[in-house]
Structure 1
């Protein structure tokens, strides 16, 4: 028996929370706490009152939360958000499912939290929309979320990878998002959408289904929207709740089918009665100890016997619409029956009800002890997206704000909520502490800015600032807290200043400026190199880095002293101050082409370009970790988020992929992240998944990954097609040494000087020969990167480069995923038109005109040289070695070889000669002939 099996075999309730030696994490980032939960899914009660443990879903993780001892255990295994989950009747087994592209169904042992069974691709067409476990815990039922839904029954206790039986549903039944087994037999199931109930009978390998008719005409009464359905606990009937407060009763259609000789079939069911139980809409149904339980939109809970006679109700809890109800595993043993509620029947006997957990759509979870009706609030979390989080600069405090206006502050070391404030009718979009943590600025979706006392959350200023016309998406305090800068989604930057009025420090709005014409990505405060005065910059998707003159900015006049275009084609995502690893001061940026760039803070010159982390999407935000106590002060690290991941990077950046690591944190999208003041934790907010996650940082594991990836150039060789021993590397060597010959002169008879270096001016030619066609600006950046790489240390410019450094330069500057045909098609679609075959096309004359007048345009001679060389008219070297072109001959040749209408595919295959019609055309896929002919061609 393996260790995993024995851990399950010997498991006891709650053993995952037992105190034991904590294992050292083997990952750079480890999930340690989840703030919030998905209130759109149910909450289950796993244990009795001595433990009070609940289970809920948070993004792609299921959380087992010990409420009394304030501990969490996370069931991590999904790479997409959990869409549904269920628990067995004995609380031993937990089944979770998702809707991702590689959908999983995982069965967990609820005692040891060990995954015991995984079903891969259960519904590859769209994942799982609903799941249920049978009364005896042996079978699972899943409903697919695809366009054509499929219901499957699985025997998860066996090794079978296929369902026992399945059936496809017709689209007219509506989207089935709920399913349940009968509590009497696992051969009968029921599911429903908002309009249709479906009954199932499982016989052998066949799953039969029947969707009985139900409409407003059935009983000449409005039925309403269907919520949940359940089988009766003692008869063959079933019931369905509606949001009209009614209960549909189903029974077997034929009386004959009720005889012992002919067992009842659920596909013979029909609606026999529509009972108007209450005015409030029914949201949840449950069966508990021979009673039917209903929960409604007003937060009321009602108990009925098998004949639907009211026994008892709770209406005093003042809750919102109830999402789920989950009863204790074991019945209550009453010591004094008079402490329990009495039945509404004439007998008036005490009604012994198990204690239960309620969860609402409003994000509230309460525990109800039915003896003396004691209600305890367990959780109260935002019911709307969480977009804003901020960490205190000197204390273990985390502030998080939601779109429903709820602002909460937590002590993240104790995992304890401290203080909160509700801004009614407001949508919190951004948060920011000042440098000493005494103030907390809050930005709202309507453009309002509030400056609060960080402890009491009371307003620091008399009235909120209501000047911006767009949502406040970025906020930042200066290092001395004299200024607050905000950016809104109207592309405007606003500046607030602390002034003295009547011997009291107050905040006022100084000025604003619409300094960008595309969304602003970053607001960045710093300090001038020659003084202690604050420095303010903003970066936008318009590729502009704007610097402001704070000294000369006066009331209603925010002065911009400099605008620098820092990207040519890429869209910058974020900018931050780079730690001083050299004598020079730098900015660090990340863009949408998976590149990170270093710029001089004074000249704004690009000094280095490296390949950034490539984990499915570009970096969205970056932050240098603060130095950790007890760690080497010379070592620095970078934290970042992508669309759905959080990661760490070792500095300095150099393009080595092994110096970076990332983990899925919010599959539906990360809205923000922050770092704790001591550099030990990262916090990520998931926006629409309603959660904030705390990640513990282990830098030793990150450092170990670097050594495992190889030393020196080994990691970079692995990024080449075929590696160090591949054909691509051999060709690169050939071109590298051919460039030496070219520099010395192809036809010279002088003795050759063989070297391990090539002059810098040969770099562009070798790059193009290897299939990478840099623009003139990219060439200038590459040359500057090498030329000034050692200038501050030696005072001299570098004039040549060796093969190893060239490989690094090539890998870091080339497109991260090669040349994409989709990008070229998009360009043709933007610049041209769609032909009769619906292909992106350009007129030949328009293309030639664009190449000569737009962007880094060609001269007429350069364009003729480039096209005739690409089309095979001229020998390698063109006019440089063969003399001037015959202009009329070149023009005639181009008109003959290039059709009047050029499609994107023709341009790639026939003119550029790449010859690969796949979505990704990489430099490594080019042929040797194309590379040699392109050696002297201009990009």
Structure 2
């Protein structure tokens, strides 16, 4: 749940239900029948909600780009009105009139705007007013229930009153009366919420020091002197009294019937009459600091329940039954409780996480999952029955960062942010070790069990991997050692099984682009050894890895990187065997999970789940780069913290990190397969990724390049009869790629050639020496940059490597030549001279592919004469490389150094 958005009690005579926010989803929760109705439509986290007096209409709003207000029918969950982009940055506070006709919204941002909407008709806001930044962030707003032409809002330091004049074209007047500690010679405190008193002009505001500020008309002001009261009344408000109600902060103030109700930081709820006389209080809830109070709705409450003898007596001399509606409280510790006032029964509806949730792990054989949070709360859920089976709250300071079931489901490894590890029983959550394991000095970010539970490995924020081995003593595991094989954060950690054996393998993947395999068999106490350490990326940063399922005869490891690419590596040689265009849903893939195969058929269709920064998706296997084989939905707008899938492949679970939310998604592969069919078969989807498609100019140019490549491979000057074929030699691939506008590095060329050469090797035992048009198009689509050439990367490179003068970065010519020869992929002096003279237009078209004789000395003279001493990004792109797409205004970088792009410049 989002504990910062107040829970709303929408219980009436026909239902027992609450409404609350959960990330970008509204939840109608029948807490009597344990049923949820999900209200989905927002692209950002819900920031505020409100409800009509009869609890029929619920409104939700969010903050961010593409923000919106949605009004829902709480009985059906159907949206009845959408207000798109009501404010540029979103809404921070909202309220509805008791008759549900009008909405008031307050925008977020420095210059807040208050707007009033008639949501029952289409159109813009009826009226708006801009608030001064000196008022502070107005985070609470309310209509006067007795006169909806009056409103009040407050920040933590300023209360603002409004009069809405509906005549003469709708307008709003507002007034912010000053108040300081000097006015009453005592500290006031920070404001929390404000209410209108019944049938009068007074307003009460609660404060953090337990005070109530009474706002009333100025002395000498009478209604008889006002011909137009609504237009001028706001300027006649002032703080007339400061009432000391209690020692503790007042978090919530509201009204029900004729009572004033306040909730405080100790979890107490108190009821007062209109003259602020205490009538009753509840102090035994023990649920935490209260941040919301909401009462049930019953149109004939007084007639039905007024004489019940089960209500507690009030605090008057007559001790009359204190009859009030049932109410729901929400606390800042993420607890929702229902108070049944006829008998004073308190039922906990929800007790969840009040800290970020990253730890998430499914049971290997049963419909359960474990979830842990920074609040130190660990729960085991049965996701079919939708109930918590067991929970445990660890000591203060033990914030859970990760957890993992072992392969048998008997135990759970739990990693904490303080570097400790606990192994707990999966049924009782009791410790299986006498003391926590404390070898890491920073947060445990990953934890993994080997398939036979012989080993447990962890990765921590100090970039080290720790290894535990099954013990021979009473302790389930004993320490083996730690190894720091990465100099940047560890992105993923996983166990596997060696081919044709049952021996476990351990691999770690770092942000330093290194894939490390550990030698488990030859490692001993305080002596962990490495088997291999391979740099698997040249410029991209890998995010995650997994074992590719056996949809191919070859054993692969799959990785995802920040350039929207998925890569398959041979699990033994670590050779890059395939590069594929990954899902492009706003951000690169952050984590992947292969859905288990529950079928006895080893050839059954397999699927891969993935998450991006804020979305969750499904991808069919085998991977081929077809964009129609993947689908994704917004899951956690503030970022996805973790992903896992159920043992039966029916559900996905995502943790939202900072939003403290876990969402369960039903998987429907048939819908994905239908989408793939509609996208076309064979090469049709790839033709659509070419500019202009199959009938476009790019495809026609590719045909010409294929014919020219065949001529080159047969010899340009030969007089023999040409052999026209449908394929070209693999050695021609780099030249055709560059002619198509893709300029791969030497490493990328090697990966492409290996991909083609070894594509049939497992089946035939032979290398492939040629590539046809269809194979080349797939190779081109999958290997080229996902979003083309990006000028900002070139500008960043010049800013980083060069010097800046007059706001324009440049590189000295000698420094550029030195960098080209000594950094990145090595260039010889001969190659550099050849390439530069070709780019400057002094060699035959095609450079070395067409040159017969090359004079290095002459080339050096030409470079000295034609290449300026100071080279800017604009000159380098437009004049040397000939990229007309790079406009000078895009390439200019001003001011301080920017953060580097996600992918380095080759």
Separation in structure 1 between the aligned mates of residue 865 and residue 291 of structure 2, nearest angstrom: 71
Q: Which residue of 2 aligns with 1:498?
A: 470
In the alignment, what sits opposite 2:120? 157
Q: Paired residue for 1:877? A: 846
2:192 aligned to 227, 230, 248, which one? 227
Give distance in 1, aligned partners of 2:887 and 2:701. Answer: 23
Query: By how many angstroms is 1:742 displaced?
Result: 2.1
SS at match of 2:164: strand
- Structure 1 residue 903 and structure 2 residue 872: aligned? yes
Q: Distance in 2 between matches of 1:919 and 1:894?
A: 23
Please point out which of 268, 271, 281 is paired with 1:300: 268
Higher mean Cα deviation, 628-637 or 847-856? 628-637
CA 1:344 to 1:262, structure 2 compared with 1: closer, same or farther past 3 Å? farther
* Equivalent pair of 1:491/1:514 in contact (CA under 8 Å): yes
Which stretch of the first structure deviates more once superposed, 542-551 or 660-669? 542-551
> Could you say which residue in structure 2 is the equivalent of 1:263?
229
Report what 2:899 is aligned to.
none
* CA offset digits 1:179-231 (Å, max 9, x no partner): 11111122111111111111111113211211111111222221111101122
- Please tell me whether the aligned partners of residues 627 and 633 of structure 1 are also in contact (alpha carbons under 8 angstroms): no
| 1:392 aligns to 2:355 (yes or no) | no
Report deviation, 1:346: 3.5
- The Cα offsets for residues 645-680 of structure 1, whole Å up to 9 and x where unpaired, read as 111111110000000111111010001011111111
For the Cα contact (< 8 Å) 1:547–1:560, is it kept in 2?
yes
Aligned to 1:143: 106
Residue 447 (structure 1) aligned to one of 400, 419, 442: 419
- Paired position in structure 1 for 2:900: none
> Which ranges in structure 2 are unaligned for 5 or more consecutive residues?
892-905
SS in 1 for 2:229: coil
User: Residues of 1 paired with 2:323 and 2:535: CA distance?
Assistant: 73
Q: Which moved more, 1:703-712 or 1:628-637?
A: 628-637
Q: Distance in 1 between matches of 2:323 and 2:764?
A: 86
> Counterpart of 1:823 in 2: which secondary structure?
helix
Task: Provide closer, same or farther for how the CA distance between residues 770 and 109 of structure 1 changes in structure 2, counting only shifts above 3 A.
Answer: same
SS of the residue 1:256 aligns to:
coil
Decide whether the 8 Å contact of 2:798 with 2:809 is kept in 1: yes
Cα separation, 2, equivalents of 1:621 and 1:177: 36
CA contact (8 A) 2:174 2:235 kept: yes
- The CA deviation at 1:871 is 2.2
Given that 2:221 and 2:236 are in contact with CA atoms closer than 8 Å, whether structure 1 keeps it comes out as no
2:282 maps to 314
Q: Does 1:241 align with 2:203?
A: no
Q: Which residue of 2 aligns with 1:782?
A: 752
1:408-449 per-residue CA deviation (whole Å, 9 max, x = no partner) reads: 111001001110111112000010111110111100001101
- 1:637–1:650 CA contact under 8 A, matched in 2: yes
Out of 617-626 and 732-741, give the one that drifted further: 732-741
Of residues 796, 810, 821, the one that matches 1:841 is 810
Deviations 1:562-605 (A, max 9, x none): 11111111111111111112321111111111111111111111
CA drift at 1:257: 4.2
- In structure 2, the residue matched to 1:474 is 446
Contact 1:628 1:680 in 2 (8 A): no
- 1:866 aligned to 2:840? no
Partner in structure 1 of residue 138 of structure 2:
176
Q: Is the 8 Å Cα contact of residues 819 and 921 (structure 1) preserved in structure 2?
A: no
Alignment match of 1:250 (pick from 195, 215, 219) = 215
Do 2:173 and 2:234's aligned partners in 1 also have CA atoms closer than 8 Å? no
Secondary structure of 1:462's aligned partner = coil
Question: What residue ranges of structure 1 are gaps of 5+ in the alignment?
Answer: 1-36, 923-938
Shift of 1:255: 3.5
How far residue 632 of structure 1 moved from its aligned partner, in angstroms, is: 7.9
Question: Residue 172 of structure 1: SS of its match in structure 2?
Answer: helix
Q: What corresponds to 1:634 in structure 2? A: 604
Residue 200 of structure 1 is matched in structure 2 by 162
Contact 1:257 / 1:263 at 8 angstroms: preserved in 2?
A: no
Q: Which residue of 2 aligns with 1:15?
A: none
Contact kept in structure 1, 2:447 and 2:457, CA below 8 Å: yes
The separation in 2 between residues aligned to 1:562 and 1:520, in whole angstroms, is 16
Match of 2:90 in 1: 127
Partner of 2:794: 824
Q: Which residue of 1 aligns with 2:493?
A: 523
TM-fit CA distance, 1:252: 2.1
Match of 2:776 in 1: 806
| Kept in 1: contact 2:204–2:213 (CA 8 A) | yes
Indicate conservation of the 8 Å contact 1:594/1:611, yes or no: yes
1:550 aligns with 2:516: no
1:571 is the counterpart of 2:541: yes
Post-superposition shift, 1:746?
A: 2.9
User: RMSD of aligned C-alpha atoms?
Assistant: 1.8
Tell me if structure 1 keeps the 8 A contact 2:874–2:887. Answer: no
How far apart are the structure 1 equivalents of 2:174 and 2:879? 57
The DSSP-based 3-state class of the residue aligned with 1:535 is strand
Preserved CA contact (<8 Å) 1:385 1:403? yes
Corresponding residue number in structure 2 for 1:483 = 455
Cα drift, residue 309 of structure 1: 1.7
Q: TM-score, normalised by structure 1?
A: 0.92
* C-alpha spacing 1:390/1:880, structure 2 compared with 1 (3 Å): closer
Shift of 1:779: 0.4
Distance, in Å, in 1 between the alignment partners of 2:822 and 2:155 is: 59
Q: Give me the whole-angstrom Cα distance separating, in 2, the residues matched to 1:636 and 1:454.
A: 29
The residue matched to 1:337 in structure 2 has which SS? coil
The CA distance in 1 between the partners of 2:651 and 2:805, in whole Å, is: 55
Q: Partners in 2 of 1:531 and 1:262 — Cα distance? A: 90
The within-5 A match list for 1:272-671 is 272-330=240-298, 331=301, 333-334=304-305, 336-425=307-396, 426-501=398-473, 504=474, 506-629=476-599, 633-671=603-641
TM-score (norm 2): 0.95
Residue correspondence of structure 1 range 695-710 to structure 2 within 5 A: 695-710=665-680
Deviations 1:718-757 (A, max 9, x none): 1111112222222222222221222223333322222111
- 2:471 alignment partner, SS class: strand
Count of residues in correspondence between the two structures: 882
Measured in 1, the distance between the counterparts of 2:850 and 2:360 equals 63
Q: CA deviation at 1:507?
A: 1.4
For structure 1, which segment, 295-304 or 333-342, has the greater mean C-alpha deviation from structure 2 after superposition? Answer: 333-342
1:166-189, Cα deviation, whole Å (9 max, x unpaired):
011111111111111111122111
Moved over 6 A (4+): 918-922
Alignment pair present for 1:48 and 2:9: no
Structure of greater relative contact order (alpha carbons < 8 Å, 6+ residues apart): 1
Rounded Cα–Cα distance in structure 1 between residues aligned with 2:887 and 2:188: 54
Please give the alpha-carbon distance, in whole angstroms, between the structure 2 residues aligned to 1:702 and 1:94.
33
Residue 913 (structure 1) shift: 1.2
* Structure 2 match to 1:167: 129
> 1:614: how far off?
0.8
Q: Note if contact 1:448-1:467 (Cα within 8 Å) is conserved in structure 2.
A: yes
What residue is the counterpart of 1:216 in the other structure?
Answer: 181
Q: How far is the alpha carbon of 1:901 from its aligned partner?
A: 2.2
Cα deviation for residue 836 of structure 1 reads 2.1
Cα shift readout 1:298-335 (whole Å, capped 9, x = no counterpart): 11111111122222111121232111000010136227
User: Matches of 2:263 and 2:871 in 1, distance apart?
Assistant: 65
Instruction: Give 3-state SS (helix, strand or coil) of 2:845's partner.
Output: coil
Paired with 1:880 and 1:657, the residues of 2 have a C-alpha distance of 35
- What is the CA–CA distance in structure 2 between the aligned matches of 1:86 and 1:756, rounded to whole Å? 66
1:14 corresponds in structure 2 to none
1:361·1:383 contact (CA, 8 Å) conserved in 2? yes
SS of residue matched to 2:235: helix
Report if the CA contact (8 A) 1:820-1:920 is conserved.
no
Separation in 1 of the partners of 2:719 and 2:129?
81
CA contact (8 A) 1:404 1:424 kept: no
8 A contact 2:265–2:289 mirrored in 1 = yes
Aligned residue in 2 for 1:105: 69
